[in-house]
Chain A
C-alpha cells in the first residue's frame, strides 16, 4: 500500500532553515510527482511547490520563490523540502502529497493529490 512517512517535528529560531523529508513506499517513486503543502494554525491549505520525481524538475509558488528548495533522492524514494530564512509566520504543519504527472512535449501537469504524508509541525520561535 502507498505510504508517505514524514520526518518529525522541528523547532527553529527565526532566520534558520528547516529540511523536512518524505519517504515514499508502495509505488514506483519516479513515476509520480510530489507536492508540498502547508497549513498554518486555523488557516487554509497553502501550496508551496512540486517536484517531478522522475526528472527532478521543480516548480515553486511565487510566494516562496528564493526561500524554498524541493529535492529528491531516487535511491531512497524520498523527497525533501527545505525552507530558509524562517520567520514566525512559517509556523505550520507541512505536508507532502503525491500526484500523478503527465508531460507533453513542452510542459508537465500534475493531477489531484491522492496520498498525503502525516504532516510535520515546524515551529519558529525565538
Chain B
C-alpha cells in the first residue's frame, strides 16, 4: 500500500503570499498524483490532475509539479477564498490513497 505524506499539516498565511504544499509517496507513482481542495462542509474539488495538468475552471494561481515520489502544489498570490484543506491522491495502484491533508488558514 502506498502511503502519502503531506507537509505541512497546517499553515497560517496572509493574502497575496505564495504557498507551497508537498506530498511524498512511499514508492514511485510516476505522475499519477492529483490534488483536491476541500472547504468546510463541502465535497473535495479537483484542482490538479497527473501532477501538473490544469483543470478547466480552476484559477491559474494553482499549479503542480513533481514525479516519482515528490510532488508540490503551489498557490501563487493567495486569496481569502483559498482557505481550505488540500489533499493529494494517488491512482497509480490499488488501494488508492490520500495524504493526511494540509489546512490553510488565512490571516
Interface residues of A (CB under 8 A from B): 35, 37, 44-47, 50, 59, 61-63, 95, 97, 99, 109-114, 116-119
Contact = CB atoms under 8 A, between A and B. Distances in A.
Interface string B86-107: 0101010011111111000000
Contacts of A61: 94-95
Contacts of B46: 112-114
Contacts, number: 50
A110 B98 CA distance: 15
Interface of B: 34, 36, 43-46, 49-50, 87, 89, 91, 94-101
B100 A47 contact: no
7 contacts: A44-B98, A45-B98, A61-B95, A63-B95, A111-B91, A116-B43, A117-B43
